[in-house]
Amino acid sequence: MSWWAALPAIATAIALLLIPGLLFSAALRARGPLAVGLVPMFSVALAGVTGIVAAFLGLEWSVLTFVLLSLVLCAIAFGVTRLVDARFARTFSPRLDRYSVTAALAGLAIGGAASVYNISRALGAPDNIAQRYDNVYHLNAVRYVLEEGQASSLTLGRMVNPDAGIAIYPAAWHSFASIVAQLSGQPIPVAINALNIVICSLVWPLSAVLLTRVIVGPRPFAILFAGIFSAAFPAFPLGLLDFGPLYPNLLSYSILPAVLAVVVSVLRSPGRSGLSPIGSFIALAAGLAGLFTAQPNGFSALLALSLPPLVWRWWTWARTGYRSGAARSLVVPGVVGAVSATAFVAVWQALLITGYDNWLPFNDSRWDAIGEALTSAPHGRDAAVVLGIATAAGIFGILKGRAPLWLLGVFAVAVLLYVVAANEPRGLVRMALTGSWYQDPQRLASLLPIPTIVVAAFGAALLITSGRRLVQRILNADGSRQRVSAILAGTLTLAFVALGALYSQRGPIDQMVVATHLNHTYAGNPTILSPAERELLERLDETVPDDAVVGVNPWNGSALAYAFSGTEVTQYHMGKLSADLSLIARELDAADAASEACAVAEELGVEYVLDFGSYYLLDRPLAHSYPAFDEADGAPNYELVDEEGDARLYEVTNCG
């Protein structure tokens, strides 16, 4: 399949991630950079919230449901903003200067194009799937939303736990993917890849540019390089397409800079951020809703990265009270600080995933881990030279007072979290600091680019402006060559930008593209599906009745029968087997009508079995628990119905 054929799905994803958010931004009467930069964040929040509301109201999830409920929420936001804003005088209307706008557009165009190029190479074709563990769940979950008409983050987990009243699993990404598939008419793999390309090349760059603009101000070169560098990190977004894949994390981290920008804007100058006080409150609430319904550890990341500016703002307030000498001015900041710290610790503790301790540290040297974080080369990858130089320049500029010192604190928090996950041994410290991310170094490596992109973009701007001044000073020492020095400085600036953009895409990025490509083709080892297995699944709805259930071993990819054809299967993801399922997975192949295995199969509706052999995605003990499904050739209870290569579909014949 060509990428041209995927354009309708890509266009659909762009519309879904922009239009609802634009309406919500207009409803809040947002101004300045926030009016545009927050648009994808608002769209994600609307998808997450409307999915929950639709389920509560008993409405089937569809594009119509999404549109109608989004319009209702926009109307509510508009009404509340107009009602409350009438009590406040609008004292500030931020303006977008043309140089910053031009720089933002150029950066977004360059970075977005680079991301599209890299990701299209990594995926190989728009209908390829990630041949990875988590993708069994994600593909099936998109089908589940389409089949069940439910896109609530409170109930999506019922796909693997159908008896649960509340089965929480963040559903915003799956909500978008299902609508892309609905509107474009494309298969689920194409819809997923189209959505991810838009998230990587539009949502993430726009959020990164906004955060950079909010923190370092209207510096055109910093804004330009924020867009360019959005495609320069191997850890994110490419890293999350390769590892897992962690699609919900991809969406959550992509809007995280925008939510952080709201926090910084409100802390820095309340009422002068481009949003009214009530608008700021609604925007922050929307951002939190978006993070929670995309992937809650995005909220954990927001807490961690917001800590330095929050502490800085509190310290400024407390110091002002101390200088005034008034008793109230001393007590109130102390009480607020104590209450806030207690609340922070309580919320942080509640977000820890204490029952999971499988991801181990991998780096024996703490200094190596620190070096990896500083050079944007986590997990022992080659150093990203351009990013490393720009980051060093940015740190120097921050220390010289040319940007807020707390920005260095935000960067240090991200570095600390990665180093702890990569190097700290199992124990209380590692769990307390990184438990919200399953103590997973990969998830925290993917968090590093969020503060790094601001520091590096700021550093690149400093290098350019310093170089321009040096050239002009040398060539125009006597004031007689002003025109020549200006032309040469401009030429060198363009050359620096071009080389920075070019070389930021070489080395580590190319390596990451190659690694990701291997996991999106049939050349990887192991793979979820072979070409023959996929071909058999894609025609399964022609051979299996609608009400039949197919026995599958999810470890060999056969559980994806649900994603590709809508056929119900015995398991939708890898996990423990129930007693009944364990019985038929062991004995159904040789069972007779009077056996317990046949009685269980009849109760569960299992009428067919998919035999994809014993080539497992992960060779875990559980993968070997399905001998009746994996070694079906010649089984007395089965009759061959369809086959493709080594993949076979059998009908259960003796249990009727």
Alpha carbon distance 117, 122 (integer Å)? 9
Mean pLDDT of the chain: 89
E strand or H helix at 611, and its extent?
strand 606-611
What is the reported pLDDT for 554? 93
Alpha carbon distance 233, 222 (integer Å)? 17
Nearest Cα neighbor of 318 from 302, 342, 304, 337 is 337
What is the reported pLDDT for 506? 77
The least confident of 56-70, 220-234, 467-481, 544-558 is 467-481
Nearest Cα neighbor of 585 from 558, 564, 567 is 558
What is the reported pLDDT for 87? 60
Question: What pTM did the predictor assign?
Answer: 0.93
Alpha carbon distance 274, 265 (integer Å)? 9
- Encoded tokens for 524: 């990887």
**283 in Cβ contact with 275 (< 8 Å):** yes
Convert the pLDDT of each residue in 417-464 to its tens digit: 999 999 999 889 999 999 999 999 999 999 999 999 999 999 999 988
Under the banding of pLDDT at 50, 70 and 90, the label for residue 477 is: low
Compute, in degrees rounded to 10, the torsion defined by CA atoms 356, 361, 367, 371: -80
DSSP-derived 3-state class of residue 164: coil
What is the reported pLDDT for 494? 76
What is the reported pLDDT for 536? 95
CB neighbour list of residue 501: distance below 8 Å, 6 or more residues apart = 110, 114, 228
Alpha carbon distance 135, 559 (integer Å)? 11
What is the reported pLDDT for 93? 55
Convert the pLDDT of each residue in 269-308 to its tens digit: 655 677 888 888 999 999 999 999 999 999 999 999 999 9
Alpha carbon distance 369, 444 (integer Å)? 12
CB neighbour list of residue 104: distance below 8 Å, 6 or more residues apart = 209, 213, 223, 224, 227
What is the reported pLDDT for 534? 93
Alpha carbon distance 96, 274 (integer Å)? 11
The least confident of 418-422, 534-538, 592-596, 606-610 is 592-596
Under the banding of pLDDT at 50, 70 and 90, the label for residue 333 is: confident
Q: How many CB atoms lie within 10 A of CB 81?
A: 20
- Integer angstrom CA distances of residue 378 from 127, 312, 386: 30, 29, 15
What is the reported pLDDT for 86? 65
What is the reported pLDDT for 481? 60
Alpha carbon distance 464, 493 (integer Å)? 6
CB neighbour list of residue 165: distance below 8 Å, 6 or more residues apart = none
Convert the pLDDT of each residue in 305-318 to its tens digit: 999 999 998 888 87
Number of residues assigned to the chain: 656
Convert the pLDDT of each residue in 501-516 to its tens digit: 777 777 889 999 999 9
**32 in Cβ contact with 274 (< 8 Å):** yes
What is the reported pLDDT for 166? 84
Nearest Cα neighbor of 610 from 645, 572, 643, 565 is 643
- Encoded tokens for 270: 């309340």
What is the reported pLDDT for 247? 97
CB neighbour list of residue 462: distance below 8 Å, 6 or more residues apart = 393, 394, 396, 397, 402
What is the reported pLDDT for 327? 57
**108 in Cβ contact with 227 (< 8 Å):** yes
Under the banding of pLDDT at 50, 70 and 90, the label for residue 615 is: confident
Nearest Cα neighbor of 301 from 287, 285, 281 is 287
Under the banding of pLDDT at 50, 70 and 90, the label for residue 364 is: confident
Distance of alpha carbon 361 from the chain centroid: 23
Average confidence (pLDDT) over 541-550:
90
What is the reported pLDDT for 52? 96
**568 in Cβ contact with 562 (< 8 Å):** yes
**232 in Cβ contact with 387 (< 8 Å):** yes
**230 in Cβ contact with 257 (< 8 Å):** no
The least confident of 122-136, 237-251, 313-327, 404-418 is 313-327
What is the reported pLDDT for 355? 76
Of the chain, the end-to-end C-alpha distance in Å amounts to 42
Convert the pLDDT of each residue in 365-410 to its tens digit: 889 999 999 998 898 888 888 899 999 999 999 999 888 999 999 9
**DSSP structure class, residue 4:** G
E strand or H helix at 459, and its extent?
helix 449-475
**446 in Cβ contact with 249 (< 8 Å):** yes
* Whether pLDDT at 647 is above 60: yes
What is the reported pLDDT for 486? 65
- Integer angstrom CA distances of residue 396 from 456, 552, 621: 11, 57, 52
Strand partners, 606: 549
Alpha carbon distance 580, 344 (integer Å)? 45
- Encoded tokens for 560: 């994806």
- Encoded tokens for 547: 């009400």
Convert the pLDDT of each residue in 106-165 to its tens digit: 999 999 999 999 999 999 999 999 999 999 999 999 999 999 999 999 999 999 988 888
Q: Is 375 exposed, middle or buried (0-12, 13-18, 19+ CB in 10 A)?
A: buried
- Encoded tokens for 147: 């089949």
* Whether pLDDT at 226 is above 80: yes
**491 in Cβ contact with 519 (< 8 Å):** no
Alpha carbon distance 160, 237 (integer Å)? 28
Strand 606-611's sheet: what is its strand order? Answer: 568-569, 549-551, 606-611, 647-652, 638-644
Higher pLDDT, 357 or 534: 534
Strand residue runs (E) in 395-460: none
Peptide bond into 245 cis (omega under 30): yes
DSSP-derived 3-state class of residue 233: coil
Alpha carbon distance 403, 407 (integer Å)? 7
Compute, in degrees rounded to 10, the torsion defined by CA atoms 573, 295, 72, 65: -20
Please, what sign has the CA dihedral across residues 246, 247, 251, 254? positive
CB neighbour list of residue 233: distance below 8 Å, 6 or more residues apart = 239, 376, 384, 387, 448, 449, 452, 453
Convert the pLDDT of each residue in 66-111 to its tens digit: 999 999 999 999 999 888 876 654 555 566 678 889 999 999 999 9
With tokens 């502490």, the residue in question is 311
Distance of alpha carbon 233 from the chain centroid: 14
Distance of alpha carbon 437 from the chain centroid: 13
**312 in Cβ contact with 409 (< 8 Å):** yes
What is the reported pLDDT for 553? 94
* Helix 7-27 vs helix 39-57: crossing angle, to nearest 10: 90
